[in-house]
Structure 1
């Protein structure tokens, strides 16, 4: 791999000859910003390349790799596993943000094709008036997070009943390390033979740079039911969430442990956010229902979660109100069976009506740094996984308190067989440019600003590593593998050898995001 010491001006001249100087960013301050993700700072970049279309992307990749420069693709910048931070200095980072067009929406075939830099929010806004959405339609950071980034890192939240976001993909156009453009298959059926689209899904940019994505569409629901429940402990919570998931009753199912719940209620204002409230009321479908539901949210305020240990929030979505009401009634019966109690359902209503809010939650409510770690487990291992993580926190409680480190968790059902445990850390530390540029300006202005705190960060880093090892012991799987999660250790050696062979075939010089996935 070429480093900054290897005549950077000559390398830049070579690349700019292929793509033009306007497509390259070389300003030192901008390069420092692009060398950050939500958790980490990476080494110095040679430049940032912002292609305007697939052909320019291909020319730039070909010129860079021919000169021995490593390529690192970046989507919306919401990653926290060093997915777009190179292992060594001197890489060319590709920012796909200028490739953000929606190319086609095919209502007859129920597909959409977008450029990789299109955000989930932009796609959803284009599809909603047509009564459509993607099968799995993005993460909560979708106002910034891109479709291409999601397809490379994988992600889950909206549409989780249909799987993770890569399950919505039909076809990719991928620029390989030599600049050639590969189409992974059919634009209406996946797979036709071995699943080549799947091969490039969740590759964290190790195999190529996604240029366009064709996705499966489904009809947007026209009838909704919402439910929120309180549970006394984790065992009761997981028992209910798992049974509801196995029955396939909810389209969205997520919740919070006591600490994260308290943090969210500090941060979110259900009564003062007029935009959220108005959108929620509009989503109810009639003036009377809008006024009724809006009044409930205002009356509930924040107090409805004051004495709630674990909260579970669910959405049923369909075509007939009677059907979704019946599903929610069945959910309520399951919740009660596991010791749950009904609480005000403001949270799922507000979130569903405002699916991609500003990303102010990428820092704590008082300005603390924030970072998650996660694992997907089968229902049978959820309680064991939870208890082991809590035992880790208990064993490290004194050190965590001494360094101002706190942790909560988001918990969600992803399919009939799988649930997510996502511990989230908060600690006092300096914010980076990526935080300051991503947060709303008025929100940022209200936050405390802490000095750099390497000691507390080191505690968080160590505990994240311990949690990843706990998940590995339980055969958990992960999204955003990048440089954080142990794919090789979790793989059958023969499967790993096949992946290595694919890497050699598409990237023989090892210049496509080297080190990502452990390759």
Structure 2
């Protein structure tokens, strides 16, 4: 006799009995909100599960999968690759936001252990008074983005000279599809034998739900130098950024093409910028210098990049001012060699002063929708990759203009061998609940509100797919693989078979974020 599948009410009753009804959200409006990311709307979840600790998380996952309910983990919600948007309606979405404690700071062993819902912003603010930070310490959306989300999706920005955020991980506690809890290895050394921590890193929730994370700590810099440079063309820009990266001179190295830097200059607040910078420099012990730097920000205004084709912004940090000044002097020599010239270095100072600002930049400065796409390329293929993407835009210029679609790019060095190219699209379209809840209220109130615009969005969809194809032909790699980037196509067939075998072992019924990674 066939066994009848449980009804939604039955499944919810079973899950509620395991975790308590108060841990489940079933309100229709809330489910609609949780079923969208920064770019897309997905099928509506059965419920949102908000565990408060590892044991509750394990009980909830076990109860749901026993009923045949798929599990979809969600971090801070800042993704745009459908990482937490299920393929089908009726999944249990796990929001780890209530698991946000910092469990242990071990200053002797230089490690920190956090629950997966802890934000990068909270972690940084807790560690900073101790003169510590994580090895790679978060993305620009870290006021909302969580450590667990970063470990699952991977990410890069702060501490990029030390790698992506998963490179900072020592070990995880992971809840598997049957509710069992796996510890991936040592809390002070990675790896001991095959790298099990690495296996669950950047898995986009396809293998399990991260409950706790132990990270490597490093000493926070006490001396800083900042530099910004203008370059006449992309070849000069990439030449300088790559050489600086190969020499290991900068802790942070990022830049913008002309369009994206014009967008950034439109939306930033001079008052907030100056205040952040003054506060940072006061904390470094120089009130007079802080006031001078704040005044310099205001004096520079928003016009100092008006005639700059490409801008590169760098931070050198360390223990001794003489050493970081020497590094910045070497950076300046490299920039000049590649045709660059020094410009006002306001941008890196402001970003370092307030590393996790409000996420107002998840929409355009006039209220346009925004979405990136990206690829990591070796230094030797950066110019080729850039030129192919620009050729795509040139070939679609008329259609983009007709539909109000514009594109810029952020560019960054992320290791001695690799740089990031991240094209960013803007287009007129309706904002979703995730935008309205995430932006600062006063900022949201100033923005234009556009009607839904399926035609412009379709242009963006097509161009993003074309850029992904270009990156694939150049053998690029990606973060936030989720449901956007072609992992199977990019993988060696034997390696892909091994990954599928791991998936079968830890999730034999295919209920852990099915479809993510293409599994």
Q: What TM-score, normalized by structure 2, do the two folds share?
A: 0.98
Match of 1:429 in 2: 429
Task: Tell me the distance in 2 between the aligned counterparts of 1:323 and 1:353.
Answer: 21
Is the partner of 1:224 in helix, strand or coil? strand
The answer (yes or no) to whether the contact 1:206–1:516 under 8 Å persists in 2 is yes
Task: Tell me the distance in 1 between the aligned counterparts of 2:437 and 2:42.
Answer: 18
Is the partner of 1:471 in helix, strand or coil? helix
Deviation at 1:301, TM superposition (A): 1.3
Task: Tell me the distance in 1 between the aligned counterparts of 2:325 and 2:283.
Answer: 16
1:262 is aligned to 2:262: yes
Deviation at 1:299, TM superposition (A): 1.5
Match of 1:370 in 2: 370
The answer (yes or no) to whether the contact 2:274–2:295 under 8 Å persists in 1 is no
The answer (yes or no) to whether the contact 1:280–1:349 under 8 Å persists in 2 is no
1:487 is aligned to 2:514: no
Is the partner of 2:46 in helix, strand or coil? strand
Matches within 5 A, 1:167-182: 167-182=167-182
1:346 is aligned to 2:346: yes
Is the partner of 1:475 in helix, strand or coil? coil
Match of 2:317 in 1: 317
**Structure 1: unaligned runs, 5 residues or longer:** none
The answer (yes or no) to whether the contact 2:253–2:315 under 8 Å persists in 1 is yes
Match of 1:207 in 2: 207
Is the partner of 1:342 in helix, strand or coil? strand
The answer (yes or no) to whether the contact 2:273–2:350 under 8 Å persists in 1 is no
Matches within 5 A, 1:5-20: 7-20=7-20
Matches within 5 A, 1:274-353: 274-353=274-353
1:508 is aligned to 2:508: yes
The answer (yes or no) to whether the contact 1:69–1:92 under 8 Å persists in 2 is yes
Deviation at 1:295, TM superposition (A): 2.3
Match of 2:388 in 1: 388
Is the partner of 2:485 in helix, strand or coil? coil
The answer (yes or no) to whether the contact 1:175–1:210 under 8 Å persists in 2 is yes
1:468 is aligned to 2:468: yes
Task: Report the number of matched residues.
Answer: 515
- Residues 58-113 of structure 1, C-alpha deviation per residue, up to 9 Å, x if partnerless? 00000000000000000000000000000001000000000000000000000000
Is the partner of 1:412 in helix, strand or coil? strand
Match of 1:242 in 2: 242
Is the partner of 2:484 in helix, strand or coil? coil
Is the partner of 2:304 in helix, strand or coil? helix
Deviation at 1:290, TM superposition (A): 1.4
1:453 is aligned to 2:453: yes
Match of 1:59 in 2: 59
Deviation at 1:277, TM superposition (A): 3.6
Is the partner of 1:103 in helix, strand or coil? strand
Deviation at 1:291, TM superposition (A): 2.3
Deviation at 1:271, TM superposition (A): 4.2
The answer (yes or no) to whether the contact 2:275–2:294 under 8 Å persists in 1 is no
Is the partner of 1:214 in helix, strand or coil? strand
Is the partner of 1:305 in helix, strand or coil? coil
Task: Tell me the distance in 2 between the aligned counterparts of 1:49 and 1:279.
Answer: 39
The answer (yes or no) to whether the contact 1:271–1:301 under 8 Å persists in 2 is no
Task: Tell me the distance in 2 between the aligned counterparts of 1:408 and 1:283.
Answer: 35
Task: Tell me the distance in 2 between the aligned counterparts of 1:141 and 1:178.
Answer: 32
Task: Tell me the distance in 2 between the aligned counterparts of 1:509 and 1:8.
Answer: 19
Q: What TM-score, normalized by structure 1, do the two folds share?
A: 0.98
**More off after superposition, 386-395 vs 276-285:** 276-285
Deviation at 1:127, TM superposition (A): 0.2
Task: Tell me the distance in 2 between the aligned counterparts of 1:284 and 1:257.
Answer: 32
**Structure 2: unaligned runs, 5 residues or longer:** none
